[in-house]
Amino acid sequence: MVSEKMKELGSKRSVIRDLFEYGKLKASEVGEENVYDFSLGNPSVPAPKSVEETITKLIKETEPTLLHGYTSAQGDALVRKTLADNLKKRFDAPINENLMYMTCGAAASLTITLHALAEKDDEFIAFTPFFPEYRVFVEGTGSKLVCVDTVDGSFQIDGEAFEKAITKNTKGVIVNTPNNPSGVVLNEESANTIVEILEKKQKEYSHPIFLITDEPYRELIYSDVKNPCFLNLYNNTVLCYSYSKSLSLPGERIGYIAVSDKAENKADLYASVCGAGRVLGYVCAPSLMQRVVAACDGETGDLDAYRGNRDILYNALTEMGFECVYPDGAFYLFVKSPIPSAEEFSNKAKEYNLLIVPADSFGVKGYVRLSYCVATDMIKRSLPKFEELMKNYK
Ligand code: PLP
């Protein structure tokens, strides 16, 4: 009567959502101030002031049927031109407004791109750890997700493992830097390794292998490191972007796809992106928000707040003896569980009302993820609880 596959997906909550719901229930029992919820990646800093100012100005000055009306299916032409010009200026990258497609956030950017590329028997590679929805997005196209482990501890690219995983069926590779859940920014060596191997394998199999760069955290970097701009390194790149994190607008659902102006058969690839947008019903992204991001592109919320949270949490937890890769970006800490089972560790943490996500669904075992896009005060109040938790393992 209904699709069993869809029913299954819709009936199961992600482990992150489970923990979040548990937190709400617990808060009603013990009080909100006694629950330390590190589960969700919902930005805790408000959107920059310019977002509100732009919305007010647009509402005052734009004719309502235009402001709230349909735009072109692929997005307003002037918005795409403004964004393309900005991107060219900021990254000197091969961007063309006629190869851009406005979307409802990174999830839409990724699902459209994957549907645009996927054919029978195709495989897509993701490096561990990865955003768990990649599995749903890839398998939703009928393709296979192939997971490739990174170097344990640093989570940089393991070239040998990557090369071994590529087959004649590999259609694309998803990279996410800065990374959810590790906070790692891929270094130059990792970026070059990915590109060299892809160039070699494209030649060997005589067909393009696309690099899908999932970059919702592109601007969220707190250290003196540079995020690789793959559009400048590899021709067959499709950039999937979202303003959910950079402008703190996750509920407004706005982002874009940019097919490289140097991609092979770029016109066909872009036509396929437009076709996938139609099939999935992702046409004409929110009209007001398209205009807002065109005005505010490149800005961010208060990064100092995230940097401060990272420093407090990273310094305190490592001092207590927890092991954790230094997170240069995004707003997550990826902490090694002191026992083999991350689930057991997360359950133990629950006894102290600490909500931390076991990371098995991120493709690596034995780690938990903590989101530090939360109130600084909550982080500070949680530290004695982490100390008590750690005592169980000393
Ligand atoms: N990709 C990654 C790595 C994410 O962390 C997220 C959201 O947390 C998404 C994609 C989806 O982003 P959006 O809310 O813009 O759809």
Question: Considering only CA atoms, which of 370, 361, 362, 382 is closest in space to residue 332?
Answer: 370
Question: Which residues, given as ranges, of the chain have pLDDT below 50?
Answer: none
* Nearest atom of ligand 1 to the alpha carbon of 105: 15
Ligand 1 pocket check for 244: Cβ under 6 Å: yes
| pLDDT 10s digits, 319-352 | 999 999 999 999 999 999 999 999 999 999 999 9
The owner of tokens 């949490």 is 313
Show the tokens assigned to 56.
């007010």
Ligand 1 pocket check for 180: Cβ under 6 Å: yes
Residue 394 is predicted with a pLDDT of 83
Show the tokens assigned to 205.
């199999």
**Contact call for residues 162 and 197 (beta carbons, < 8 A):** yes
Q: Counting every residue, how long is the chain? A: 394
Pocket test for ligand 1, best of 102, 127, 133 (most atoms within 8 A of CB): 133
Ligand 1 pocket check for 177: Cβ under 6 Å: no
What is the residue-wise DSSP string for 286-328?
Answer: -HHHHHHHHHHTT--S-HHHHHHHHHHHHHHHHHHT-EE----
For residue 178, say if its preceding peptide bond is cis, omega within 30 degrees of 0. Answer: yes
Question: Considering only CA atoms, which of 241, 240, 232 is closest in space to residue 262?
Answer: 232
Q: Which helix (H) or strand (E) holds 75?
A: none
**Contact call for residues 221 and 185 (beta carbons, < 8 A):** yes
Residue 12 is predicted with a pLDDT of 85
Residue 206 is predicted with a pLDDT of 97
Helix (H), strand (E) counts: the chain:
14, 13
Residue 185 is predicted with a pLDDT of 98
Ligand 1 pocket check for 105: Cβ under 6 Å: yes
Q: Cα 217 to the chain's mean position, in Å?
A: 6
What is the residue-wise DSSP string for 135-181?
Answer: HHHHHTTT-EEEEE---TTT----HHHHHHH--TTEEEEEE-SS-TT
Q: Which residue is closest in CA terms to ligand 1's atom 5?
A: 180
Neighbours of 393 (CB within 10 A): 12
Taking the C-alpha atoms of residue 347 and residue 342, their distance in angstroms, rounded to an integer, is 9
Residue 14 is predicted with a pLDDT of 85
Ligand 1 pocket check for 106: Cβ under 6 Å: yes
Taking the C-alpha atoms of residue 162 and residue 283, their distance in angstroms, rounded to an integer, is 35
Ligand 1 pocket check for 39: Cβ under 6 Å: no
Pocket test for ligand 1, best of 242, 246, 362, 369 (most atoms within 8 A of CB): 242
CA of 204 to the centre of ligand 1 (A): 33
CA of 216 to the centre of ligand 1 (A): 6
The owner of tokens 């900021």 is 90
**Contact call for residues 259 and 272 (beta carbons, < 8 A):** no
Ligand 1 pocket check for 107: Cβ under 6 Å: yes
CA of 226 to the centre of ligand 1 (A): 21
Taking the C-alpha atoms of residue 250 and residue 106, their distance in angstroms, rounded to an integer, is 10
Taking the C-alpha atoms of residue 356 and residue 339, their distance in angstroms, rounded to an integer, is 14
Question: Considering only CA atoms, which of 115, 128, 149 is closest in space to residue 240?
Answer: 115
Pocket test for ligand 1, best of 44, 213, 244 (most atoms within 8 A of CB): 244
Residue 68 is predicted with a pLDDT of 96
CA of 107 to the centre of ligand 1 (A): 6
Ligand 1 pocket check for 255: Cβ under 6 Å: yes
Question: Considering only CA atoms, which of 188, 165, 216, 217 is closest in space to residue 328?
Answer: 217
Burial tier of 118 (Cβ tally within 10 Å: 0-12, 13-18, 19+): buried
**Contact call for residues 259 and 266 (beta carbons, < 8 A):** yes
The owner of tokens 């010009």 is 85
CA of 362 to the centre of ligand 1 (A): 13
| pLDDT 10s digits, 128-168 | 999 999 999 999 999 999 999 999 999 999 999 999 999 99
One-letter amino acid for residue 94 of the chain: P
Show the tokens assigned to 217.
């955290």
Ligand 1 pocket check for 129: Cβ under 6 Å: no
Taking the C-alpha atoms of residue 341 and residue 366, their distance in angstroms, rounded to an integer, is 6
Ligand 1 pocket check for 297: Cβ under 6 Å: no
* Nearest atom of ligand 1 to the alpha carbon of 243: 15
